Amino acid sequence: MHRNGPTRDIDESELSVTEPKKQAAGVTAVAVALGRAVEEMGVVRTARTLARVNQVHGFDCPGCAWPEPTGHRRPAEFCENGAKAVAEEATLRTVTPEFFAAHSIEELADKSGYWLGQQGRLTHPMVLRPGDTHYSPIEWTDAYRLVAEHLRALATPDEALFYTSGRTANETAFLYQLLVRSYGTNNLPDCSNMCHESSGTALTSSIGIGKGSVSIDDFDAADLIIVAGQNPGTNHPRMLSALAGAKAKGATIIAVNPLPETGLLGFRDPQTVKGFTSGVSIADDFLQIRLGGDMALFQGLGRLLFEAEDAAPGTVVDHEFVDTHCAGFAEYEKNTRAVDLGTVREATGLTDDELGRTARLLAESKNIIICWAMGLTQQAHGVATIEEATNLLLLRGMIGKPGAGVCPVRGHSNVQGDRTMGIWEKMPDAFLDALDREFDITSPREHGFDTVNAIRAMRAGKAKVFVGMGGNFVSATPDTEVTEAALRGCALTVQVSTKLNRSHVVHGQTALILPTLGRTDEDLRDGVKQQVSVEDSMSMVHLSTGRLKPVSDELRSEVTIVCELAQTLLGADHPVPWAQYQRNYDKIRDAIARVVPGCADYNTRVRQRNGFVLPHPPRDSREFRTTTGKANFAVNELTWTPVPHGRLILQTLRSHDQYNTTIYGLDDRYRGVHGGRKVILVNAEDIAESGFTDGELVDLISEWTDGTERKVTGFRIIGYPTPRGNAAAYYPETNPLVPLDHVAARSNTPVSKAVTIRLERHRHVGPPS
Ligand SMILES: Nc1nc2c(c(=O)[nH]1)N[C@H]1C(S)=C(S)[C@@H](COP(=O)(O)OP(=O)(O)OC[C@H]3O[C@@H](n4cnc5c(=O)[nH]c(N)nc54)[C@H](O)[C@@H]3O)O[C@H]1N2
Ligand SMILES: Nc1nc2c(c(=O)[nH]1)N[C@H]1C(S)=C(S)[C@@H](COP(=O)(O)OP(=O)(O)OC[C@H]3O[C@@H](n4cnc5c(=O)[nH]c(N)nc54)[C@H](O)[C@@H]3O)O[C@H]1N2
Ligand SMILES: [Mo]
């Protein structure tokens, strides 16, 4: 039943461009999803698998973190991109020891991430020893021993790094951080450092908890929903159904984005009969903002709200909420009233009319939700931007009541749960105290390295062992050349993975690939089916059960890998009952219940029909556990992203046919880019002004404040309706352009959405093709 992956790699000369689509989803989406699924796993496995996505007794879709509806679940509670995520994992294509024997590392290092991923599921633990040209098979026990030897040889545990990507389930995450802290370090960088860290930082400071305050039902009660810096049509397609539902109940929806993203502007719900034939326009208004202009927008809107309050006192500012629950209002008011609207227009590119009508809606709406994703977080002033959005909601009393609140829309399906379970380089002492009490260990208290600092540490030779629990560190991180050199400097790199990726071919002196079960795979221990649990973007925790027969008997669950490594590394007399946990995941959940706040009675509650919702003090009782004990109005100096003369500001984003560094295919259907990925979308007037022609090949050179430059070559320039001076290109191809030190203030998140670049005509070098 096994299949081989495609042999052909991407040929960028086959790239073609069509008009961007006006509507998302609909019949095409269903057809594309089924086509991909059948291609990867055949008809029977497709039918068996897709019917189980996001169902009560099924598995959690590994696509995104958007919640499932709590009431009636439709038979197909998935979307085109969820189906692609499932097909990618449930594929019958395999990467076997024979594959590794046939392909040297040198050869694999020349392949695209797309080609690597398309080869299929990893089937055996593999090792690459110093001097080897090919990976070769290794026994699991030998692999653990090798890792333990390297870890024991370090001068201090702080020379090791333990990365996590957000697919890891709660049970694994809890045990993994327990292993890492038992070993003796807090070096737990994760994908969240590159993702919603800015949201967590801002919200913790403003409302005392780094999570969103709305639940899925709040969408039905909202009358204004702002979606800023997010492309749900591609990255959270099921959110479109929630938005369409809110709209049907009378909500107004405003999209704030530099790009006219198809899903936001038009949507055909593939899950309703009507949606097959006719679509709705999701956004009632589209504010085409300049990259990095959102902080100016929110401050400008704040000023207009104060003016509206002056015109009709007592109708705009929720004085009762502000007086009872907030701190810092007077200073916020003073600062905000002084905001210069001319600067706001320049920073945002928006007109007085656009600002005025948005302010009016904010002043008049009874229930307001603000949603956001990477367009806000991956900015140098991302934390302050999110604080300013939160300020508006506080001013209007919009936290802790139905139909209103902050909604950071998470990325990876369990990235929020991983944090709840302790995957964080600076977990609060209270959590560590509880961990130590439960297990009779002594967790280190000194904070560890986040993702950017982990790269710096490897570069400086201060970190020598890298362990990745999922993810694709090399391709996901900024400044590719720097990061690759940093990893190559390690003594050992270990990747616990489902699929082949670039992090396996850019490696330390010794490298290990440990193949693991995915969300869809059946996980049997002593003949008993094990389940794992996850938390969605709205703090709902529920079970996930894989049912597919794994593609190889050699695969081990992430829990097993952590427990077996722990026993080898920490010895048989270690106080944590690793052997028990590995056999019965209920035992892990019992420990979680005793250690993790809000998880009491975990085993029982997680088995309820829709699981359970974790406590959120601002949402539940308008309680704000901040430094002041109140919700804090933040005061920030207005920061934005001007375009230097003759330069462009580049954002690096996702196509419709990828999951982060996993490239499903070469079809960014909604934006009209097909057959290739090396494109840069530029305003047609900027193309004309700079003397290029549409379709020409260019090199992109990024410029950093220290005078250094970085370059990627051979990108096709395409005229696209993005604001003047603002360009867009796909991640991860453009990661080499993002300087490692270009990080957001306070969250240390790489600024992937604002890189200053110039374009140069591409000169073909090398042999003619
Ligand atoms: N199919 C699929 N689903 C996914 C993913 C995937 O790769 N594929 N990734 C998952 C992950 S980990 C995450 S974090 C999420 C990511 O979800 P998104 O944040 O939607 O992902 P991006 O493609 O980075 O899109 C950023 C959006 O912000 C806009 N934007 C960029 N800069 C600015 C700005 O300065 N201001 C404003 N207002 N808008 C701006 C861009 O035009 C774009 O629409 O999706 C998750 N879901
Ligand atoms: N320039 C730029 N860079 C970015 C971003 C951007 O917008 N622009 N976005 C950032 C964001 S938001 C994020 S979240 C990061 C993503 O960073 P990562 O989470 O590190 O990257 P992914 O591409 O999601 O990881 C894919 C790999 O995970 C492995 N995998 C998949 N499922 C499983 C599983 O169940 N278990 C295990 N053990 N492994 C599994 C597979 O081997 C696969 O190759 O990238 C960040 N980097
Ligand atoms: Mo993310």
CATH 2.40.40.20 residue ranges of the chain are 648-761
Ligand 3 centre and the CA of 90: distance in Å? 22
- Is domain 197-408 classified as CATH 3.30.420.40? no
| 4, 96 contact by CB (below 8 A) | no
Tell me the best of 195, 286, 654 to mutate to test the pocket of ligand 1, counting ligand atoms within 8 Å of each CB and taking the most: 654
pLDDT digits (tens, 9 = 90+) for 155-198: 999 999 999 999 999 999 999 999 999 999 999 999 999 999 99
271 pLDDT more than 90:
no
CATH 3.40.228.10 residue ranges of the chain are 197-408
Query: Where are any strands of DSSP class E within 66-204?
Result: 94-95, 121-122, 126-128, 136-137, 160-164
What per-residue confidence (pLDDT) applies to 74?
62
Measured in residues, the chain has a length of: 769
pLDDT digits (tens, 9 = 90+) for 565-583: 999 999 999 999 999 999 9
Q: Which of 2.40.40.20, 3.40.50.720, 3.30.70.20, 1.10.10.1400 is the CATH number of 648-761?
A: 2.40.40.20
What is the number of the ligand closest to the CA of 750? Answer: 2
What is the rounded (10 degree) CA torsion for 521, 525, 527, 528?
A: -80
Q: Whose CA is nearest to atom 6 of ligand 1?
A: 659
Q: Is 294 in the pocket of ligand 1 (CB under 6 A)?
A: yes
Q: Is 146 in the pocket of ligand 1 (CB under 6 A)?
A: no
Average pLDDT rounded to a whole number, residues 16-44: 80
How confident is residue 32, by pLDDT bands cut at 50, 70 and 90? confident
Q: Is 182 in the pocket of ligand 2 (CB under 6 A)?
A: no
Chain centre distance of CA 738: 17
Tell me the best of 231, 236, 681 to mutate to test the pocket of ligand 1, counting ligand atoms within 8 Å of each CB and taking the most: 231
Ligand 2 centre and the CA of 721: distance in Å? 29
Question: Which of 2-16, 33-47, 68-82 is predicted most confidently?
Answer: 2-16
The percent of residues above 70 in pLDDT, for the chain, comes to: 96
Ligand 1 centre and the CA of 106: distance in Å? 33
pLDDT digits (tens, 9 = 90+) for 518-535: 999 999 998 999 999 999
Residue 288: partners with Cβ closer than 8 Å, 6 or more residues away: 257, 258, 259, 260, 349, 350, 723
Residue 509: partners with Cβ closer than 8 Å, 6 or more residues away: 130, 490, 491, 492
CATH of domain 94-191+414-516+553-570: 3.40.50.740
pLDDT digits (tens, 9 = 90+) for 208-226: 999 999 999 999 999 999 9
Task: Return residues with CB closer than 5 A to ligand 3 (ion).
Answer: 195, 411
Q: Is 413 in the pocket of ligand 1 (CB under 6 A)?
A: no
Q: Is 374 in the pocket of ligand 1 (CB under 6 A)?
A: yes
Q: Is 471 in the pocket of ligand 2 (CB under 6 A)?
A: yes
How confident is residue 76, by pLDDT bands cut at 50, 70 and 90? low
CA–CA separation, 728 and 732 (whole Å)? 12
What per-residue confidence (pLDDT) applies to 769?
47
CATH 3.40.50.740 residue ranges of the chain are 94-191+414-516+553-570
| 180, 596 contact by CB (below 8 A) | no
Which amino acid, 393?
Answer: L
628 pLDDT more than 60:
yes
User: pTM for the full model?
Assistant: 0.97
